[in-house]
Each structure stands twice: as structure tokens, then as C-alpha cells.
Structure 1
Amino acid sequence: MARRNNLMIFILTIGVFGILNTEMGVIGILPSLADHYHVSVSQAGLLVSLFALGVAISGPILPLLFSGMDRKKVMLLVLGVFLIGNIMSIFTTNFTIALIARVVPAFFHPIYCSLAFSVAASSVRKEDAAKAVSKVFIGVSAGMVVGVPIVSFIANAASIEMAMAFFAVINAVVFLVTFLFVPTMPVKEKLSYGAQLRVLKKSKTWLSIAAVIFLNAAVFGVYSYLAEYLETVTNMSPNMISFMLFVYGGANIIGNMVAGKLLAHSAMKSVIAFPFVLGGVYLILFFAGEITLPMAIMTFIWGIVAGIGGNINQFWMASSAPEAPDFANGLFLTSCNIGTTVGAAAGGLFISGMGAKYVVLVGILSLILGLATILLRYYRHDPSEQLSD
């Protein structure tokens, strides 16, 4: 049983990597895609922004609608939709078709990811749930920060078509192993849509949504401009910047490994400590960001803390509505996308108005707001139970 569960969690991790890589991998090749489709770079950016918008819209809706279906069948459906979209992207040179091939799968993205978190958590003992989810989050981190340079390398070394084929191959492999090795998983206790939607009546849910938005804005409001910060503030070379992006990505994966243990042993303390730790990292970046060695060290530490933060966000949202796990994970994905969008927009405003160095203030302000919502939920909802962590 343990071996089967480990295999299933591994498959879910690779599946999440394939889906997140499809979403984020094109970031590093947008100029090449603009040339390929004969559009401007800003138009090519729609391949990213419309995908994120699709995820944000469908996040609380489609996981709810599919929550009563056999989980294996739903996973195969989502992987099949992504595979078809990937194949269309390989062969089309029409930008409109390329947009459709990305936006349609985007609506199915939250279904697979929310199921992956729920299935991983339910496949082990309750006390090991956080560790299981943290393993799936390795796929999330790898898809978001490691997939970008991999896809960029393939596009430069071979072609845009081969880079797109990389997305297709990953999703095809996951589809096959899911079909062969994942058992059927019918939902034993189907919750009505109304029962799941009732979690939106709880202030605890809305405080958790707000916290996830602010904490994700705190991370991606600064990370989105890491390359800009390293170039203009630290004065690193392009090759060194590429290396530091790899360092951040690797550290992010390490953070996921650490997060499972932290949340399993001391969940509430970890949640409350996170804004303080990341805030400390940002203060050091602000005051020592112009010096190469401290900046390199702090980028590594920042990556670890950010990796932990993703797990904390998922735990915080899921723990607010344990009676509707799939719906809660859908809300988590929507909240994360809203936070990323708001944080990146705010970071751009701070850079244009004050300079790249001051982008860290977006992170610090977001952390203050996130901490406020965390403490408000903590003191209003079951403090004695949470203190036992």
C-alpha cells in the first residue's frame, strides 16, 4: 500500500510539473514566440496572461463541478485536454489558434492541481498529509521556476516546435502512467454543490483567501523582477543572472522538502513565522542588494523560504474548509493567481516610480497585510486548537 501511494504521489508530482510547465515555460521564449507567430512581444504576452486569467476564473468553479466524478477519469480528461493543446501548439503558426490551444487547457488546470493536492493528502495518514502535499509541490516549483530555463534552452538549441514538443511529451507520459498505474478512485461521499459553497459563508474562508493573496503577492511581486533587480541594482552579468535564476529554482524545491516537515510538526508556528522570515530576507536584500556575495546568498535563502511559502498557502486555504477539499484547493489556486497578478502589477509601479531597488517594499507591505489576516483568523477561529501545534 505504501509503495502504491508513493508511486501515485510521484505521478501526481510529474503531472503537476507538466501542467505548470505548460503555463510558465513560455515566459523565457516570448520574444521567439513573437517572431514565430509574427506578432509583437506584448501580444505574445497574452499566451501567459490569458492562461493565468483562465486559471483564476475556473479555479473556484470547475473543481467544484467535477468533485463528484471518479478522480482517475477526471485526471485523464485534463491531461488529454493539455496534450491536445500542446500538439496544436507544435504545428500551428496562427497566433489565434495558439491562444485557443493554451486558454482552453487553462480552464482545466485547477481541476488537476486541486485533485493532486487532495488525493496526495488523502492517500496517507492525517499526520503525514502535509508531507505528501509538499512532495506534489515539488512539481509546482519545478514547473514554475525550473521549466522556464529548460524550455528556453531547448528553443535556442533546437527550435520553437521542439520546445512545444517538450510540453507534449511530459503530458503524454503522465497520461500513460496515470492510465496504467493509478487505480480508479470513485468519490465515496459526494458533497452537494450547496454544501461545498457553504464554506464561502465562513469568515475563516475569506480571511484565508485574503492571506493567500497577500502572501503570494509578497513573493511574486518581487520575484517577477528578480532578473531586473540583479541587473540594475547588483550589476550582475547576464550569465550570472541566469545562474542565479537556477539557484532560486533549486532552492525553491528544497523549500518544498522542508515545508512538509515544518507543517507536520508545527503548522501554526510556521504560518505565523513565515511573514517575519521573508520580511527579514527582503530587508537584507534592500540594504545589501548592491553587493554580489550577500545577494547571491540571500537569493538562495529567499528561494527556500518562497518554496515553504507555497506550501503554507495551500495548507492555510485547505485547513479553512476541510469539509470541501477540492473546492478549497480551487480557491487556493485562484487566490494565488490573483496574488501573483496584483503583486507583479504593484512591483511594476514601484519600479517605474522609485527604481528597481524599491520593489522589495511591495513584498514587505504585502507581508504586513498577510500577517494581519493570519492573526485575525488565528484569534477568531479555534485558537486553542491551533496553539496545540
Structure 2
Amino acid sequence: MPFAIYVLSLAIFCMTTSEFMVAGMMNTLAAEFGVTVSAVGYLITAFSAGMVVGGPLLTAALLNTPRKKAFITLIAVFFVGQLLGAVAESYALMMVSRIITGIASSAAFGVSISISASLVDENTRGRAVSIIFGGLMIATVLGTPAATWAAEAYGWRFSFWAVAILVLLSGMTALRLIPVLSTPEPTSLRHELKSFRNRGLWAAYLTSFLIIGATFAAFSYFAPIFTDLTGFSAASVPLLFVVYGAATVVGNLITGRLADRYMMPLLTIGLILLSVALLAFAIGAHEPAVVIAAVIVIGLAGVPMNPPMVTRVIRAGGSGLMVNTIHTAIVTFGVVIGSSVGGLAISAGYGLVAPLWIGLILALAGVISLLPFLLGFSRSKVVEIK
């Protein structure tokens, strides 16, 4: 793997840490800005909304920009947004910061995948993508907990400044180490959108949405399920999240190695395992051994499906900026829908186990979404980009 791939991964690590670290400092930020904890939760929603809506719009503006220059530009935009958060004296300014960083993050994912596809041959694209998404996995295991710890030890602004400096360093490293790629052929948004006429691409998007939606319907409510249903102590919850995070890292290493050769088998097996784990979790939520096993399998078969998911999207629609940024937006939308529907089910009185059943329904829908491809009905519709 070219070292530049690891530089891209570092940038994604910084951006993902920024996305989730607010969750670990909700009470502190609520006291700082004089708002409710639920209002601080909207800061996370704002980041996701920026990724879903703003990311594709910013990508459209960068279509004819050389990929390296586009990436550096996005690093600069993200840095400005993170800097605004570090110096924010009001809730409104912090909200602006989150929207800017969310927009830049979404576009950066798409550009990173496009650059990685240009740096490696077709048979190693899945592995390259797994390294980039490794930054996301490590951010959930190490980055977010480290930011939370630093916020408690040195204040929340320290964490924001630390991420800002780290993303600046990743940008400077990228400027030096990412090779100058050939300038993309002049194109228009209308031409770029032609890729979206491919039914195989939309089928790939749908499966990605369902996998991530199923995973985050459950993951978003792990903590209360662990303590209120399973009976784990509050002190053991961080350890359980570390176990889950370690499983995602291991799963990502496995799928990254195999995605190029076994794309569809990985997606099929992953969705079946995810369905079985969610079913076992829902039925055995009061049994610690069952819960631990289910959490490990969800970690292995949920988010680590990203390499085969991205490989499928690239084969169906190419490695263009819009194709990959829209994929990032759809995956983020899956996070929002999965967690939101799970929360609505709890609010409706169905209990903490309800998100697990929601996740199971989405995972089973994901299996069904693969059936046309597996049975050969849609293969003629999929145009593989060589």
C-alpha cells in the first residue's frame, strides 16, 4: 500500500473523532452554553445533517478540481470548522462549527476513496478502502475515548484544539506525501449524474443503507441495554465498548483483505451473521454471555462491511467523486435512521429491546436486497468499471 493511503486514514481518524466526541462531553457542553443535554445532542445531528446534505453539494463544486487539491481544500475547511468549535462562546457558533465540519467530512470521505482508487490497481482497491476506514474504526476505539478523557482532565476546548491541530498536521503531511494525480477530465454535474442511472449502483446503495442502519439501531442504545436489561455495572460499560471496537478493527482487517475477491460472499455472510446476532441479542438481552457474544459478532459483521460495500459501489458506478460522496451520505443517513427509529420505538413504549428488533428487521431487509444479485437477476444491470 502506498503510504499516502495511511495519510488519508489519519485524516478520516481526525474527522470521525470530531464527529463522535461531543457524545462524551454532553453534560459539560450543556453547562458551558446554558442549554439542555438534548440540545447538545442536536450538535451530533447537525454534523450528520452536514454530511448527508452539504457533503454532496460541496463535492459538486469540486468536480473539476485535481483530487489532491480538493482533499487539501477539504482539510482546510474542516480545520476552520473545528477551530470555530474550539473558540466558540455560544451554542449558535458551536452549531455552525458542527455543520461546517460535517460538510467537509462527507466530501473528504468521497475524495479519499477516489484518490485511493487512483493509487492502487483494481485488485487491491478493497484493501486500500479498508485502511481508510481503519481510521474510522480506530477513532471509535481510541480517538473518541481519548477526546473524552482529555476533556475531563483539561477541559473540552483542549479536545477540540487537539483534533484541530492533528487534522492540520494530517493536511500538511498529505500535501507532502500524496502524489500529484492527473487532473480529471473536465466534466459537468449532469455528466457525473449519468452514473446514477445504473440500477446496480442503487442496489448497492440500498444494501449499504440497510447494513449500517441495522448496526446503529442497536449500537446507539448499547449503554442503557447493558446496564438496565443485562445488569452490567456502569463501570463495565466502557470495557464492553472497547470489546465492540476491537471487534470492528479485526473485522475491518478481514474484510479489507477479502473484499476484492469475495465481495458478494462477504456481504451475504456478514448480513446473515448480523441478523443472527441481533436476534440472539433481542431474545437473550438479560443473559451476559449471550450479550457479549452478540456484541462481538455485531462488531465483526456490521461496520466492517464498509470495504465490500465500497468495492461494490465502485464496480457498479466507478470511482468518481459524486458516486462515493453520495455513498457516504447514504451510509450516514443509515446511521441517522437506525438510531432515530430505535429511539422512537423506545419512546412509543416498546422498551429498550425494541431497537434490537428494529436492527433485525433492517438486517433481514439487507439480506433480501441481495437476493436479485445472488440469483443472477440483476447481474446484467451491473456495469463493472475496469
Counterpart residue number, 1:11: 7
Of 135-144 and 58-67, more deviation after overlay is shown by 58-67
Counterpart residue number, 2:302: 306
Structure-2 separation of matches of 1:203 and 1:182: 34
Q: Does residue 198 of the first structure (1) align with residue 194 of the second (2)?
A: yes
The match for 2:344 among 349, 352, 357 is: 349
Aligned AA for 2:379? D
Counterpart residue number, 1:337: 332
Give the paired residue count.
Answer: 381
Q: CA deviation at 1:68?
A: 2.0
For residues 170-189 of structure 1, what are the structure 2 equivalents within 5 Å?
170-189=166-185
Aligned AA for 1:19? M
Counterpart residue number, 1:67: 63
Other structure's SS at 1:356 match: coil
Q: Does residue 125 of the first structure (1) align with residue 121 of the second (2)?
A: yes
The match for 1:207 among 180, 203, 212 is: 203
Structure-2 separation of matches of 1:96 and 1:212: 33
Counterpart residue number, 1:32: 28
Aligned AA for 2:323? A
* Per-residue deviation, residues 326-355 of structure 1 (Å, max 9, x unmatched): 211111111112111111111112333221
Does the 8 Å contact 1:69/1:186 carry over to 2?
no
Counterpart residue number, 1:381: 378
Does the 8 Å contact 1:259/1:307 carry over to 2?
no
Other structure's SS at 1:55 match: helix
Does the 8 Å contact 2:207/2:366 carry over to 1?
yes
* Per-residue deviation, residues 124-144 of structure 1 (Å, max 9, x unmatched): 121111111111110122234
Does the 8 Å contact 1:25/1:143 carry over to 2?
no
Unaligned runs of 5+ in 2: none
Structure-2 separation of matches of 1:36 and 1:185: 45
Of 269-278 and 309-318, more deviation after overlay is shown by 309-318
Aligned AA for 2:333? I
Structure-1 separation of matches of 2:204 and 2:382: 17
For residues 215-226 of structure 1, what are the structure 2 equivalents within 5 Å?
215-226=211-222
* Per-residue deviation, residues 204-250 of structure 1 (Å, max 9, x unmatched): 22222222222211111111111111111111111111111111112
The match for 2:107 among 104, 111, 115 is: 111
Counterpart residue number, 2:77: 81
Say if 1:182 and 1:357 are closer, same or farther in 2 by CA, change over 3 A. Answer: same
Of 364-373 and 232-241, more deviation after overlay is shown by 364-373
Structure-2 separation of matches of 1:249 and 1:166: 22
RMSD over aligned Cα atoms: 2.0
Say if 1:144 and 1:332 are closer, same or farther in 2 by CA, change over 3 A. Answer: farther
Structure-2 separation of matches of 1:355 and 1:281: 19
Q: CA deviation at 1:150?
A: 1.6
Does the 8 Å contact 1:254/1:307 carry over to 2?
no
Q: Does residue 52 of the first structure (1) align with residue 39 of the second (2)?
A: no
Aligned AA for 1:343? G
Q: Does residue 326 of the first structure (1) align with residue 308 of the second (2)?
A: no
Does the 8 Å contact 1:64/1:193 carry over to 2?
yes
Structure-2 separation of matches of 1:295 and 1:174: 38
* Per-residue deviation, residues 4-43 of structure 1 (Å, max 9, x unmatched): x1x1011000011111111122111111111111211121
Does the 8 Å contact 1:208/1:377 carry over to 2?
no
Aligned AA for 1:330? T
Runs ≥4 in structure 1, deviation > 4 angstroms?
383-386
Does the 8 Å contact 2:274/2:297 carry over to 1?
no
Q: CA deviation at 1:145?
A: 4.8
Aligned AA for 2:221? Y
Counterpart residue number, 2:274: 278
Structure-1 separation of matches of 2:57 and 2:367: 28
Structure-2 separation of matches of 1:226 and 1:199: 38
The match for 1:367 among 358, 363, 367 is: 363
Q: CA deviation at 1:114?
A: 0.7
The match for 1:139 among 124, 135, 138 is: 135
Other structure's SS at 2:63 match: coil
Aligned AA for 2:167? N
Does the 8 Å contact 2:213/2:339 carry over to 1?
yes
* Per-residue deviation, residues 133-184 of structure 1 (Å, max 9, x unmatched): 1111101222345432221111111111111112112211102211222222
Aligned AA for 1:328? V
Aligned AA for 1:165? W
Other structure's SS at 2:353 match: helix
Q: What's the TM-score once normalised by structure 1's chain length?
A: 0.92
Structure-2 separation of matches of 1:63 and 1:375: 32
Does the 8 Å contact 2:51/2:332 carry over to 1?
yes
Say if 1:187 and 1:100 are closer, same or farther in 2 by CA, change over 3 A. Answer: same
Q: Does residue 238 of the first structure (1) align with residue 227 of the second (2)?
A: no
Does the 8 Å contact 1:83/1:172 carry over to 2?
yes
Q: What's the TM-score once normalised by structure 2's chain length?
A: 0.93
Does the 8 Å contact 1:279/1:364 carry over to 2?
yes
Aligned AA for 1:122? S
Structure-1 separation of matches of 2:378 and 2:61: 29
